[in-house]
Amino acid sequence: MASGAGSSRDESFPAELRKKLFKSPVVEGDRLLESSDNLTLMNQLQIQHSLEMARKAVEKEQLEKRLKQLRLKLTAMSEDNWRYQPVEKLIGQH
């Protein structure tokens, strides 16, 4: 009869409640500290990500500016090319 009473008591507690009862107790301060550590880590990761994205954007802008300058120089050199004799002719190879 004692086993019958025990089995009805076991059936009345769902497995989740049983797990919660037998877990080691968590102090509320520990939970807050863990939450704070997670927030700090997430903030650090977000800052690192933002800095990396900003750095890449600046590098891309600099590259585009440099390419534009080089294109302008190439155009200017192409326009002035007729003024000068070819190097091969000057050194006597052609």
pLDDT top residue among 15 and 32: 15
Q: How far is CA 91 from CA 19, 47, 77, 85, 87, in A?
A: 91, 59, 21, 11, 6
pTM passes above 0.85: no
The CA distance from 94 to 81, in Å, is 17
Q: Provide the residue ranges of all domains of the chain, joining segments of one domain with +.
A: 7-90
Give me the mean pLDDT over the 77-90 stretch: 85
Q: How many residues comprise the chain? A: 94
Supply 50's token pair. Answer: 């933002």
Supply 60's token pair. Answer: 């891309």
Helix (H, G, I), strand (E, B) or coil at 86: coil
Tens-digit pLDDT profile for residues 22-77? 666 655 556 666 778 888 889 999 999 999 999 999 999 999 999 999 999 999 98
The amino acid at residue 65 is K
